[in-house]
Structure 1
Amino acid sequence: MTEIIDPPTPKMRRELSFGTDPRSVRQRIEGMEKLLERMFVIPGINKPVGLDVILDIIPGVGTISAAALGSYIAWEARNLGMSKWQIARMAGNIGFDMLLGAIPWIGAIPDFFFRSNTRNVRMIKRHLDKHHPDTRTIDVEAR
């Protein structure tokens, strides 16, 4: 016996697609920031760690990969129409993070404290809250 599946509703299509609307961008950058900066918590010190710090342990390739993933957040900001000054600040954060991570093994320690992706997402959220207030969400997570 075959089951008849209803076609996706507009709400389902919005949830499944990679929209260019500000709400979709906000969800993507928040997800990327969580992956890069807060993937899991280190027991004992209760400090979140993400892929950015883990990749910095791998000399050369890891640092470049982490910077490329962080650049995606800046690319999304550019697509939102943020100013060149804001994009330059984001690029500076990514570059500084990359310089910190370029020091083999030891570079992961300062990167553990300087969270460039969190800083960049915070800038984008301020922009979205100002120019697209309907995308605001309530953060229930204590930071």
Structure 2
Amino acid sequence: MKSMPNDDLFSRDNAGARRSARAKIIDQDGREVHGDPPGADGFQTGPFGAFQHGASGFEFAAAFQPLTREQRLARLDAIAKLLDVAFVVPGTKVRYGIDGLIGLVPVIGDLITTAFSLWLVREARALGAPWHITARMLSNVAVDGVVGLVPVAGDAFDVMFRANMRNVRMFKRWLDRQPR
């Protein structure tokens, strides 16, 4: 039997019919996706039309499949780590991310990193964050963005404050307290 794309999302039962796995699939707007996903008939519709899986080996469109809640949480965590703690200053235990590097570009760099931080808040909201968690996340982004505008001292503050890691940690703590 040849390998199927997205084996983690789908499996075949004894009759060979496709059935979906247990994990919920949530679209980019936080809504649960029901029914057969695009591509259940062997074709995947992507931004460039329909591509067949398997025979040609071309599975580019598989990247456009809806993500599960767990995958979206992992993406939030990975982006926060990239922004805040991806690198280590050699010879020290000081960690920094691309937020600190991009923030070195006056004004524009801070606006770009604030936009990334706001996207993380939007994604948390789409995953169900209540207003009080969202408000605290937005206040962390505001503090990081405003203080980050100060040359040199603001960049040092960005490295130490780590607003994105704080926000993801706060959101995950809230999620852990919710009934499943």
Q: TM-score, normalised by structure 1?
A: 0.80
Show CA shifts across 1:1-40 (max 9, x none): xxx9633143067895441x32112111111011101111
2:161 to 86, 98, 114: 114
Q: Do structure 1's residue 22 and structure 2's residue 72 form an aligned pair?
A: no
Contact preservation (8 Å) 1:22, 1:128:
no
Provide structure 1 residue ranges, at least 5 long, that are not aligned to the other structure.
134-143
Large movers: runs of 4+ above 3 Å: 12-18
Provide the identity percentage.
Answer: 31
Structure 2: gaps (5+ residues): 11-24, 26-61
Structure-2 separation of matches of 1:24 and 1:91: 23
Q: Would you say how many aligned residue pairs link Structure 1 and Structure 2? A: 129
Q: Is 1:57 equivalent to 2:104 in the alignment? A: yes
Partners of 1:95 and 1:132 lie apart in 2 by 30
1:7 aligns with 2:4: yes
Match of 1:81 in 2: 128
Bigger relative CO (Cα 8 Å, ≥ 6 apart): 1
Deviations 1:37-96 (A, max 9, x none): 111111122211101111111101100001011112101111112111110110110010
Q: Which has the higher strand share?
A: 2
Distance 2:149 2:106 in 1: 7
Check conservation: 1:22, 1:132, Cα contact below 8 A.
no
1:110 CA drift (Å): 1.3
Structure 2 length normalisation: TM-score? 0.64
Q: Which of the two has higher C-alpha Rg? A: 2
Q: Does structure 2 retain, via aligned residues, the 8 Å contact 1:40–1:50?
A: yes
